[in-house]
Chains A and B, each alone.
Chain A
């Protein structure tokens, strides 16, 4: 036993020596695009956390006198049809987008991972039925699902999170299942069962660590698209409701109608969405390359 540990220590040594700072420097050097993405994400997270400190105006304050003020020193990005400050609404919008994006991707990916691991581990008929169910979910148009959820449960942020999270489940379940299937064939799984580990213990200690990297990859890849879906659903009137400062919602109401008179209403919220999704996708791509190049086209 001690010899095994000595060998392991020896093998792991090069990795142990790298400090977190060193790892970051290496990431920036080898994956400049990924680092740029990470910088955008950090910036967005800081904006969301410090929204109360940096937003110059109240996002809900309606002032008809200030209607459609073009960008100026007082209102950097102008005001909307109710005289609300666009910059402040975009800053608070980062909070909404990040919250919905994180929670829905995490719920969807975790739910999918649990189903995927169970499906692969239990195998047989259970596996077959779970997979058919996932197929039906996959074939179902996302929009029909979102419409149904919104009309049953009503327009609110938790319902929106459910509508975004559900389509993530079958995708994650499929990929995690295929990783778990190969992990299950390892001799150490059989050995663990033979020495009397419970099924739960085997799944948690021997299968789950093996599916962590596809799980992380899907999670980051999903973050960007969750933000995009939130914006699209809000734009179609199926997501957040006024007066929530959500980016998609800012583009839906007055923006296209008054676009000619007040183009800043149409330009800046869209820029915020694109930048956020761009950052998450850049980072997710590099993470995927770094963690598991073989997974490139399965997600």
Chain B
């Protein structure tokens, strides 16, 4: 078991380096660099060519590409993620300001969506083609159809009109001001949670439907077990595996993928940071963020696989 975990973590390295390399190359294909942007050249202003060369030398952008990449990699191995080319502050520090918020929204939205989705999906499946099933399906397809930015705009509109609400200016920590923190984040969490509940509900419904047709479920029903016991102990336990995969994938996506929600609710999170960094061609920040997101992805996948083995003893890892 431990051997397996160590092996998986080692296998993760080439993936991470590959992802960082692809982003690095992509950022160099994109026209314009940060030196041009700092000097205001993007708007077509006049730039002093000598100053441009000086700035590029200062930022290390005139070195050959492989030197730039390898030196970045070498520093990362020493856990030195460098400084942002745009603000000059430490990349790690900038990320640590934003990570708690993104992490909190991602965890809370995942919990909310799972709590809604699993019961709803199960009920829809065991009452297939009844009005309950239709309502659940319409609500969940609706959740997929409503753009998250529009839901955000509507929620804010409603809050502003009826509760005289103003968007928060600064993020407060959950541990220092728990109440204010919840008041700030409850709406983004709800709008994201609804959307992901829709995805998970559909998945739960289809896997439970499949399992309910299995022989062992028919046997359990035939020997007179109550429907509730059959559904919870026999059906759900077997149907839950693919659902866990999708919950894990969503969680990994939520860490960096909430740009739209963060924009609407004026939250200072990882997604927004990534978009700004790309717009500024701030390569160290973009690469560190890609590493972070890829790491979360790989670790969550590993945890999902370990959970599989725990839930289904037939699966073993060597």
Chain A interface (Cβ < 8 Å from any Cβ of B): 33, 136, 139-141, 143-144, 147-148, 151-152, 224, 228, 231-232, 235-236, 248, 251, 255-256, 259-260, 263, 266-267, 270, 273-278, 281-282, 285, 296-297
Contact of B6 with A by CB under 8 A: no
| Assembly CA distance A266 to B156 (angstroms) | 11
| Assembly CA distance A236 to B272 (angstroms) | 11
* Across-interface contacts of B297 in A (CB, < 8 A): 139
22 A–B contacts, CB within 8 A, in A order: A33-B134, A33-B138, A140-B19, A141-B293, A143-B259, A144-B274, A147-B278, A148-B26, A148-B29, A148-B278, A151-B32, A152-B30, A152-B31, A235-B260, A251-B149, A270-B154, A273-B147, A277-B144, A278-B145, A282-B141, A297-B203, A297-B242
Q: B149 to A33, Cβ gap below 8 A?
A: no
| Assembly CA distance A224 to B290 (angstroms) | 28
* Across-interface contacts of B154 in A (CB, < 8 A): 266-267, 270
Residue of A nearest to B149 (CB): A235
Contact among B30, B32, B150, B279 with A274 in the assembled complex (CB-CB below 8 Å): B150
Chain B interface (Cβ < 8 Å from any Cβ of A): 15, 18-19, 22-23, 26-27, 29-32, 134, 137-138, 141-142, 144-150, 153-154, 156-157, 160-161, 203, 206-207, 210, 242, 256-257, 259-260, 263-264, 271, 274-275, 278-279, 286, 290, 293-294, 297
Contact among A140, A273, A278 with B150 in the assembled complex (CB-CB below 8 Å): A273
Give the 3 A-B CB pairs with smallest separation, nearest first. Answer: A270-B150, A278-B145, A277-B145
Query: Across the A-B interface, how many residue pairs have beta carbons closer than 8 Å?
Result: 114
Q: B294 to A33, Cβ gap below 8 A?
A: no
Q: Which residue, A140, A255, A266, A297, has most C-beta atoms of chain B within 10 A?
A: A297
Interface residues of A: mostly helix, strand, loop or mixed? helix
Q: A281 to B30, Cβ gap below 8 A?
A: no
Q: A144 to B147, Cβ gap below 8 A?
A: no
* Across-interface contacts of A282 in B (CB, < 8 A): 141
Given A259-B157, A270-B150, A296-B206, residue A143 in contact with residue B142 (CB < 8 A) = no
Contact among B144, B153, B275 with A255 in the assembled complex (CB-CB below 8 Å): B153
Taking A148-B27, A151-B32, A270-B147 as known contacts, 9 extra A-B pairs with beta carbons closer than 8 A to each other, sorted by chain A number, are: A33-B134, A33-B137, A139-B294, A144-B23, A228-B145, A232-B149, A251-B150, A256-B156, A278-B141
* Across-interface contacts of B256 in A (CB, < 8 A): 141
Given A136-B18, A259-B157, residue A274 in contact with residue B147 (CB < 8 A) = yes
